[in-house]
Structure formats: structure tokens, C-alpha cells
């Protein structure tokens, strides 16, 4: 089965489901790593008035940002080794067609607008994700979207595999699955994932993420 990418956007969750998933991933990373700068995923439920923001940064120059508002979701990503990263003639077209209601994502300085290899968007009541009709170069993953978006498949095992590789620990998949389901987080769940986790700090992170306790 093909990975989620700009070529296979039908496999990406809808707007509400994606926001929920990004909250779960941010909560898991907050438990696994106390230092914010070393986390892959983050989420700010109060990014601005009526706005929420989820992001992924891998520390090697690859990232995505997802902006949510009452209209829907804007998402842009940058994969520095993808062919599109070195093709300004394509990059300049990737924001074509972004709805006015989501255009704040295009100009948001924190999202590094010039660093882009793909951009997608969807209305909350829309039936599908959209992107600019740009012809991409022939490559397995021309814009890096498969690399960045494929972990968003909603499968707890995907995060489990990531955590084992990145944090070099085995994780309790039942707890991961519970957090994917947005079950209220308890101290026992947090410590079950990371025995050194600071429950006080985790509660602060949960508030910023808007994850239930």
C-alpha cells in the first residue's frame, strides 16, 4: 500500500482527525522527552485567536507546520534533501490556490514560508485535501511529503517504532494506543512510558496541547 504523500492524500486523516492525532503525538513526545528542543512533535492549542498549530521538526532541517482554524487546515512541509528543495521554479508555485481563510499560513514567519517542498490544505467540511497543480519531478518522493506525512497514519505501532529508534527505548503500545484515542492522561500512564517523566511539567504541556487529564 502506498505511503501517505501529496500523491496519495486520500490516506491522510481529515481535518479534525489530523488535529487530534497531532495532539496525541505532541503529548507522547512531551512524556518521552522533557526538553522541548529535542522533541519531534509539538502542539499549541492557543497559537492565536481561533488558531491552533501542530508541528514536526527533526533537528536536521526537515519540518512541517499545520495551522488549524474555523475554516480548516493549512499544512506546509520542507524536506531538505528532496528534489523540490533545490527547484525554486516549483517552490514558487506550491502556495497557488490556498484559500483566503488559510492564507495566514503562507505568510507566517514562524513557518519559514520560503522553506517549502509541499503545501496542502482542506476545509473542515471538505471532502478531500487539496494542493497546487504543480508537475513534480519523477522521483520516489519528489517533495519529501511521503517522508514527512507517512507517520500520520493513525497507527500507534508507527509511533512505537519511531520512539524505539529515536529515543532508544521500548514503549508500552497499550499506553500509546490509549493516548492516540485521547483517553485522559494519568500519572501512571506517563510514568509507564517514561519512568523519569516529571508529572508537574507534563500537566503544563497537556494544558498547552489541550490534551485531557
Span 19-24, mean pLDDT?
98
Report long-range pairs for 80-87 (Cβ below 8 Å, ≥24 apart): 80/144, 81/144, 82/117, 82/139, 82/141, 82/142, 82/143, 82/144, 82/147, 83/136, 83/137, 83/139, 83/142, 83/143, 84/117, 84/118, 84/136, 84/137, 84/142, 84/143, 84/144, 85/117, 85/144, 87/137
Which element (helix H / strand E) includes 139?
none
Q: Report the range of poorest mean pLDDT among 41-45, 112-116, 165-169, 195-199.
A: 165-169
In angstroms, the CA 206 to CA 212 distance is 7
Domain coordinates of the chain in residue numbers?
9-154
Residue 92 has pLDDT above 90, yes or no: no
Q: Which pLDDT belongs to residue 37?
A: 81
Q: Which pLDDT belongs to residue 157?
A: 96
- Within a 13 Å sphere around the CA of 194, how many CA atoms are in the beta-carbon half? 18
Residue 211: band (very low, low, confident or very high) from pLDDT cuts 50, 70, 90: very high
Beta-bridge mates of residue 121: 74, 130
Pairing of strands 118-123, 41-48: unpaired
Q: Which pLDDT belongs to residue 183?
A: 98
Residue 143, classed as helix, strand or coil, is coil
Q: What whole-number percentage of the chain has pLDDT above 90?
A: 90
Q: Which pLDDT belongs to residue 59?
A: 87
For the whole prediction, is pTM greater than 0.85? yes
Q: Which pLDDT belongs to residue 35?
A: 85
Amino acid at each position: 500500500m502506498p505511503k501517505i504523500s501529496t500523491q496519495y492524500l486520500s490516506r491522510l486523516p481529515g481535518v479534525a482527525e489530523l488535529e487530534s492525532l497531532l495532539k496525541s503525538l505532541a503529548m507522547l513526545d512531551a512524556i518521552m522527552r522533557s526538553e522541548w528542543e529535542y522533541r519531534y512533535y509539538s502542539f499549541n492549542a492557543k497559537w492565536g485567536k481561533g488558531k491552533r498549530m501542530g508541528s514536526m521538526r527533526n533537528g536536521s532541517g526537515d519540518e512541517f507546520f499545520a495551522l488549524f482554524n474555523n475554516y480548516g487546515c493549512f499544512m506546509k512541509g520542507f524536506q531538505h534533501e528532496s528534489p523540490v528543495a533545490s527547484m525554486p521554479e516549483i517552490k514558487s508555485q506550491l502556495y497557488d490556490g490556498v484559500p483566503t481563510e488559510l492564507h495566514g499560513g503562507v505568510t507566517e514567519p514562524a513557518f519559514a514560508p520560503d522553506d517549502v517542498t509541499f503545501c496542502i490544505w482542506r476545509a473542515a467540511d471538505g471532502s478531500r485535501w487539496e494542493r497546487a497543480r504543480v508537475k513534480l519531478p519523477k522521483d520516489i518522493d519528489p517533495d519529501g511529503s511521503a517522508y514527512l506525512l507517512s507517520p500520520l497514519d493513525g497507527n500507534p505501532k508507527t509511533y512505537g517504532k519511531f520512539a524505539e529508534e529515536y529515543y532508544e527505548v521500548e514503549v508500552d503500545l497499550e499506553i500509546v494506543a490509549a493516548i492516540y484515542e485521547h483517553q485522559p492522561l494519568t500519572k501512571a500512564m506517563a510514568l509507564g512510558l517514561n519512568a523519569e517523566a516529571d508529572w508537574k511539567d507534563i500537566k503544563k504541556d497537556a494544558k498547552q496541547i489541550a490534551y485531557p487529564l
